[in-house]
Every structure is written in C-alpha cells, then in structure tokens.
Chain A
C-alpha cells in the first residue's frame, strides 16, 4: 500500500527586491518531484547540500506551502489543507529535525516539550500524560527522571533522542527524518540510527530518511532517491547500490565514499565545478555542467525519469534514453 504519494511537487521561493519589493525571481528548490512511499518501508533521500532534500521534506510536512503539485497522504490530498484540517494528518506524520541544539525550546523542560504535544492531540487522557512521557523517555533510551531537566543539560545525542520522542509522542505512521544524525558524532550516530531502526520495527513506522551520507542510507533504507538541484535524477533499491547505480551523479556520490578495504581499488571520479544556482538554473539537464558523459542534447533538454528495471528509474539521456515502450513518469521540466 502506498502511504505517501508525491505528484509533480514544485516548491519555488520568491526572491523579492528592487522597487516596491517586487518578486524579481525565484529559487527553484524543488522541481517536479514525484515518488511514492510504501507503508512500512524506509525511503532514503540523498543529494549534496542545497539540492532541495530538506525543502522537499518540509514541503511534504506542510511547513512550506507547495507551489504546485500534490502530496497525497493515505489517499488524502494534503497540499491545500488548512491548519485545522491538517490536524488529523499531523497525528499521523511527524518530523525529526536536523539540529538537536535548536530543535528543543531552551525555556521548556523535556516534560513540557513532550507533554505539550501529547496533551494537544489528546493521545492519552490528561491524567496519564506524566506516565506516558515516562514511557516515551524509556522508549528512546533515556531515564524518566531526566524529564524535569532543560535541553541545555543534555548532550547532542540525548537531545536528538528527545526530538525522536517528540515525533513519536503522537504515535505517527510516517516520519520524515531530516538528516537526523548529521549533527552528531560518529559514535553517537550509530546509537541513534539503531534506536530509529528499533523504533521503526516496534511501531511499524514508515520513514523518509533525508541524508547526504550514502553509507548511512545504504545501511538504513530500502529504497533511495537521489536528488540534484531540485530534480530527482535516480530512484532505485538499496540492495546493491554500487552495481545498480546508473546515473553519473549517483556514481560520483558513491565514488566519493571511502572504502574500508585498503587493497580494493576503483577508478576515481572527481566531480568538477559546483552545483549551479537554483536561482538561475541552466537549461537542459541540471547535471550537464559537471557530467563526464555530457552530450549536446543534455545541455538543451532535461531528461525524463525512465524506468530501466524493477523499482529503478533514471533521468539521463545517455544511460537510459526513453523509448516508446518505456513509461515516462516525469515530464521534462518546463
């Protein structure tokens, strides 16, 4: 069952300036993105900084109103719902934030932060809120006594656990995890990831895991979408990433990962140049400027996502030229 279906989602931020604050341009953060998340699976979203992964997550969470396209959650189109109409949806989808240091209100105790959400959504009767908070603290591996403390009394990993507890407080089905471990030490990363894995199994959660660390994603996710400059460039299963990845950008990302074995060698692919500005994206394929396989067509026309295998779609003229038979899931961006 598809829990979340994103259809042609677009998020552009207006840039204001000049006389009378006119809109003088737009930052194209997310461009025509479509994908689905099956109930119970973990979808990874990777890409380098500024490629729109976080914006995608936050647009799905309706932290930003989408510019165009639909987000369907459990069959309901939530892209235009008002705040109160969103409330039942909010109980089913939650978000884990990136920076544990700014994701907790410094002036509220942990009990306050967790209890606030619990009370608001009437997850448990008011008299049971305290016990419920204790239970949540236990679930994320913290001592219930610590709930009277303030956020600054905790370490980054502990704060991130509390952030996870807050997301779990409403007993959601779906969680968007926006780089939940990128601000943590490597040793703590593993702990938090294992915790998330355990909680996912315990509550049968569906996760959308945003990250820029392919290793983490490979370990943690069932499926993966690779984003570049607001576009999805490849969508594939995580079983055998190194072999399956076809898009030159995905390959470059994989190539940038260090290998554990000093004897193993592989050709070094180094990406030249920089990500083009999303304010003024070049025509054609967004990756054309840095791609080793670039052709004239790439510079003019944006390739559509083309299915090349089970659960495997690539947007590249060279790797997967679209034919009449192959279903095209994404139109060339206008």
Chain B
C-alpha cells in the first residue's frame, strides 16, 4: 500500500508535506476516537448521565467558593431528604439509591449518617454567616472541612473508579453535571459519522451524474445541469428546516428509533445540496478527458462507451473525488454544528454533538463558565483545520502544475 502511494507523484508529494502528515496524524486520532465510540466505548445515554456536581471547572481547578458551598449543600440535602423518610426501611432504600457523582454512599448505619449530617450542617450554618466567602480565610478553611465531611459520606472509591473520575472530570461538567470530556469525545463520532456518510454519498451521486453528463452530453447533460441548477437555488439551511419538520412529523421507525430522532434527516438534507459541487467539477473534468486521445483510442479499439467511461475516464477523476470528499466532509461537519445549535440537527436522543454543547453553554457563558463551549469549539476547530490542511495538501499534490 505504502509503496504504491510512493510510486505515484502525488503520493510522494503528499508524504513530503509535513503539514499534511501532521494533519493526517490529527485526523487519525479523531478517527480512532470515533471508532472507539462507535464500538460502544461511550453510549449515547451515558453522555446524558450526570457524573458529578454541575459546572465544576476542568483541569481539576477549584470552583469558586460560592459554587463549592452550593454543591456541598446539595449533596447534604439529598441525604437529608432520604433520612426524612418515615420508616427505617424506606430510609435505607433511599440511601442505597443515592449516588454522588460516580460514588455510592458509604455502608454505615442510619444513626451514623444522622451524626455526620448534623456535624456537616453545623459547619454549613457557620459558613452561611460569612458575607464574603471568597476572601475569608477562616471561612475557606471551614469550607474545606465541610467538603471533607461531605466526602466522608461516600464510599472510598476503588482505583478504577478514581481513574474514571479523573477522566470524566478532566474538562469539568456542564449544568446538569454531565462530563464535558465524554460529551465532546462522543461528538467526534457524530461529526465524523455525518461528515463521512454525507461526503461519501454526495461525492458518489455527484461523480456518477457529473461523469454521465460530461461524457454523454446531449439531453443527459441538459437534464443534469437542470437538476443541479434547481437544487443549488434552494438554500441549504432552509431545505434542512423543511426536511427536519417533515421527518419529525412522519411516524416511521428505523432501528427502533423514530426517524426524526436519528441522523437520517441530516443526511438527506445535506446530500440533496452537497452533491452539486463534485458534480460540477467531475462534469468539467470529464468534458476535458473525453476529448483526450486515450479515450479516442478506446473508441477506435471498439470498446463500449460505458466501458470507456468506467475504465478510462472515471479513474482519472479520482483526485477530484478525493479533494471534494475532504472539502465536503468539513462542510458537513460545520453545517451539522450550526443545525444542532438551532435544534434542527442532531437530537438529544442521539447523544451529544458540538452544536448541542454550544447551545447548552449559552447560559453558562453568562456565568463565566467557558469549559463546555471551549471544549466543543476547540475540538471542532482542530478537526476542521486539520482537514483543511489535508485538502489543501491533496490539491497541491494532485495539481500537475504545482511543483
């Protein structure tokens, strides 16, 4: 494989381009992440499951003191509510259900819980009196005490639990306590899936129609030109809005999900407009190639037009298909983010998406919490940038005039 690539001029140029190699490495990492998610590494429901207190910052930074106090109080309130149940059995049952982040409560007697809770609330009452917690040293010391009290309510985590917690909380949590890291990584799979599927289908449709139009000319050409002029006059987003509504109103189930909850409306809407680009390019190239002498030689040898098209014309447009594929892939990912932001693309049931994350982070940004929007946009930025560099490099590599 590698040797075949090295044998071609374009392949050598691509491998000599360091930017392209770097971009390919990054894309490889993203693809690996996408495949990991696809193989069941992260389920869509897990994306939507809280793993810790809400809005804790990433890189294990300390949350503002106010926030820490509220989080500690929330945990205490949950335990308090469980202990307020009428019978000891129901109290125990409620306590068993409580989970603080990933941790279960410690297995101690109800009386011990009462004692711990009382102690914690005593510290909490002291703290609440403090007017300016952030700059109050004794207050901060008390807060640390309170947090250790709250932590002592929960069972000591096992080593694997600790590792998981480290990973899940590495980029913080969102307003519902869901792991930003997990959601951002899951979104890679959604983005890659939408990008690859739409780019492949669009390039396939565009290449076939473009090649037929260019090669056979006449009414086929007129029909294809009419078709793509018509489709390109429909604004992409408007078509998508229409399709999103249409799909959400029809009751068809695919793989046990309502069709509106899957990615199918997104695929259909993107493919409807995305095939136009490759179609134009491939048609133009086919027009050029079909006048070349090796195509005429194929005719004088007696080969059928369809054979000539498949054997001599299409293989010489592969570079354009590749370039268009990488361009459309970026286009699809960017459009998907915009649509999900507008609540028209990926639905919550399908897991997470960068667009959904950016939408969710609107209220957080007002509270100076940038971790969610930061994670989503950074991952998208790197991915799109890497693909842009790659498609540029592809274009350079395949351009015979570029040295």
What is the CA–CA distance of A62 and B294 in the complex, to the nearest angstrom? 15
A83 partner, pick from B292, B293, B294, B304, beta carbons under 8 A: B304
- The 3 A-B pairs with the shortest beta carbon distances in the complex, nearest first, are A103-B293, A90-B302, A97-B293
Q: Is the CB of B302 within 8 A of A95?
A: no
B302 partner, pick from A58, A86, A107, beta carbons under 8 A: A86
Least distance between A113 CB and chain B CB atoms (Å): 8
B297 partner, pick from A83, A86, A97, A152, beta carbons under 8 A: A97
Q: Given A97-B293, A97-B297, A103-B293, does the pair A120, B316 have CB atoms closer than 8 Å?
A: no
Least distance between A60 CB and chain B CB atoms (Å): 10
| Most B-side CB within 10 Å, residue of A62, A106, A152 | A106
Residues 78-94 of chain A, each 1 if its beta carbon lies under 8 Å from chain B, else 0 = 00000100110011001
What is the CA–CA distance of A83 and B299 in the complex, to the nearest angstrom? 9
Least distance between A61 CB and chain B CB atoms (Å): 5
* A88 nearest CB neighbor, chain B only: B302
Residues of B within 8 A of A90 (CB): 300-302
Residues 111-127 of chain A, each 1 if its beta carbon lies under 8 Å from chain B, else 0 = 00100110011000000
A103 partner, pick from B294, B303, B316, beta carbons under 8 A: B294
Least distance between A136 CB and chain B CB atoms (Å): 14
Q: Is the CB of B316 within 8 A of A58?
A: no
Least distance between A22 CB and chain B CB atoms (Å): 14
Q: Given A83-B304, A107-B315, A120-B302, does the pair A63, B296 have CB atoms closer than 8 Å?
A: yes
Residues of A within 8 A of B304 (CB): 83
- Decide if B12 is an interface residue (CB 8 Å cutoff): no
- Decide if A104 is an interface residue (CB 8 Å cutoff): yes
* B301 nearest CB neighbor, chain A only: A117
What is the CA–CA distance of A137 and B300 in the complex, to the nearest angstrom? 20
Residues 286-300 of chain A, each 1 if its beta carbon lies under 8 Å from chain B, else 0 = 000000000000000
Residues of A within 8 A of B316 (CB): 105-107
Q: What are 11 A-to-B residue pairs whose CB atoms are below 8 Å?
A: A83-B304, A91-B302, A98-B293, A103-B293, A105-B311, A106-B316, A116-B301, A120-B302, A121-B302, A166-B301, A170-B301
B294 partner, pick from A91, A102, A152, beta carbons under 8 A: A102
| Most A-side CB within 10 Å, residue of B292, B302, B311 | B302
Q: Is the CB of B301 within 8 A of A120?
A: yes
Size of the A side of the interface (Cβ < 8 Å), in residues, is 30
Residues of B within 8 A of A120 (CB): 301-303
Residues of B within 8 A of A63 (CB): 296, 299-300
Residues of A within 8 A of B318 (CB): 107
- Decide if A99 is an interface residue (CB 8 Å cutoff): yes
Number of interchain pairs (Cβ within 8 Å): 56
Q: Is the CB of A99 within 8 A of B293?
A: yes
Residues of B within 8 A of A98 (CB): 293
Q: Is the CB of B297 within 8 A of A95?
A: yes
Residues of A within 8 A of B303 (CB): 120
* A96 nearest CB neighbor, chain B only: B297
* A95 nearest CB neighbor, chain B only: B300
Residues of B within 8 A of A121 (CB): 301-302
Known pairs A95-B300, A121-B301. 14 more at Cβ < 8 A? Answer: A58-B296, A90-B300, A97-B293, A97-B296, A97-B297, A102-B292, A102-B293, A103-B292, A103-B297, A105-B312, A107-B318, A116-B311, A120-B302, A121-B302
Q: Is the CB of B302 within 8 A of A83?
A: yes
Residues of B within 8 A of A83 (CB): 302, 304
Q: A residues near B, CB below 8 A? A: 58, 61-63, 83, 86-87, 90-91, 94-95, 97-99, 102-108, 113, 116-117, 120-121, 152, 163, 166, 170
What is the CA–CA distance of A54 and B320 in the complex, to the nearest angstrom? 31
Q: B residues near A, CB below 8 A? A: 9, 292-294, 296-297, 299-304, 311-312, 315-316, 318
What is the CA–CA distance of A116 and B301 in the complex, to the nearest angstrom? 9
| Most B-side CB within 10 Å, residue of A102, A104, A113, A152 | A102
* A89 nearest CB neighbor, chain B only: B302
* B8 nearest CB neighbor, chain A only: A150
Residues of A within 8 A of B315 (CB): 105, 107
* B318 nearest CB neighbor, chain A only: A107
Least distance between B279 CB and chain A CB atoms (Å): 20
Q: Is the CB of B302 within 8 A of A61?
A: no
Residues of A within 8 A of B9 (CB): 152
What is the CA–CA distance of A310 and B296 in the complex, to the nearest angstrom? 37
Least distance between B175 CB and chain A CB atoms (Å): 55
Residues of B within 8 A of A170 (CB): 301
Least distance between B345 CB and chain A CB atoms (Å): 39
What is the CA–CA distance of A229 and B172 in the complex, to the nearest angstrom? 80
Residues of A within 8 A of B311 (CB): 105, 116
Least distance between B143 CB and chain A CB atoms (Å): 70
Q: Is the CB of A166 within 8 A of B302?
A: no
Residues of B within 8 A of A94 (CB): 300-301
* A90 nearest CB neighbor, chain B only: B302
Residues of A within 8 A of B299 (CB): 63
Residues of B within 8 A of A61 (CB): 300
| Most A-side CB within 10 Å, residue of B9, B296, B311, B318 | B296
* B292 nearest CB neighbor, chain A only: A102
Residues of B within 8 A of A99 (CB): 293
A105 partner, pick from B294, B300, B302, beta carbons under 8 A: B294
* B299 nearest CB neighbor, chain A only: A63
Residues of B within 8 A of A152 (CB): 9
What is the CA–CA distance of A170 and B301 in the complex, to the nearest angstrom? 9
* B305 nearest CB neighbor, chain A only: A83
Q: Is the CB of A104 within 8 A of B301?
A: no
What is the CA–CA distance of A1 and B167 in the complex, to the nearest angstrom? 89
Least distance between A95 CB and chain B CB atoms (Å): 5
What is the CA–CA distance of A294 and B304 in the complex, to the nearest angstrom? 49
Residues of B within 8 A of A116 (CB): 301, 311
What is the CA–CA distance of A63 and B296 in the complex, to the nearest angstrom? 7
Residues of B within 8 A of A97 (CB): 293, 296-297
Least distance between A297 CB and chain B CB atoms (Å): 40
| Most A-side CB within 10 Å, residue of B299, B300, B316 | B300
* A21 nearest CB neighbor, chain B only: B222
